[in-house]
Every structure is written in C-alpha cells, then in structure tokens.
Amino acid sequence: MTTNKVTDASFSQDVLDSKTPVLVDFWAEWCGPCRQIAPALEEIAAEMGAQIQVAKINIDENPTVPMKYGVKGIPTMMIFKDGQVAATKVGAMPKTKIKEWIQSSI
C-alpha cells in the first residue's frame, strides 16, 4: 500500500466516506519538512495499510480543503475517522512518533 494523492474534488469520497481511518498529510512542493517526512509516510502506508490509509493533499493545487480545516502551517497531519477529524499534528516528527500518534488516535 502506498500513499494516495487526494484533491479538493476527491476529498469527500477518498477521506470522509472512507470505511477505514485516513491520515491526511497537508503538504507543498516548497516545504522542506514536508519532503522530510514523506518517506516515513510511505513506509507507514506500507506497514499499516490494513489499519489506516495515508493520503496526501498538495495545498497549493488544492486550497479549498486546507482552508476548510484551518490548516495554517505545514506539514499538518490529520486523522479522519467516520468523516470527522480525530487528531491533528503540525510539524515534522520522526516515523516512530508518527506511528505512536496514529496508534493512540485510531
């Protein structure tokens, strides 16, 4: 399992309607910390694919969803369960911390 690219148009179907929890990574090409955590998110998607989906939304190409959820800084990661935000983290962290956060939130 790999990360899924999500857009403003597909967000409702891909994230809000998902039967499994979804970690959404709000990121941009120019964001160094976003690029720093990208490999960890790919690994988490592969390791935890049965428990959680990992989706990425580029805030420059898709401004509506980040605005709706009040994303001010990136990277911002949100876990959605049953169409609702269950947890939010702002900033880069090591893979182990991201996994701990996911496990405590789902």
**For position 24, what pLDDT does the model report?**
98
**For position 3, what pLDDT does the model report?**
93
Residue that has been written with the tokens 């959605």 in this structure: 80
**For position 33, what pLDDT does the model report?**
98
Q: Annotated active-site positions, please?
A: 31, 34
**For position 57, what pLDDT does the model report?**
98
**For position 68, what pLDDT does the model report?**
98
Contact 69, 31 (CB under 8 A): no
| Whether this model's pTM surpasses 0.85 | yes
Q: Give the tens place of pLDDT for each residue, 16-75.
A: 999 999 999 999 999 999 999 999 999 999 999 999 999 999 999 999 999 999 999 999
Find the distance separating the first CA and the last CA of the chain, reported in whole Å: 18
**For position 1, what pLDDT does the model report?**
72
Report strand pairing: 76-81 vs 84-90.
antiparallel
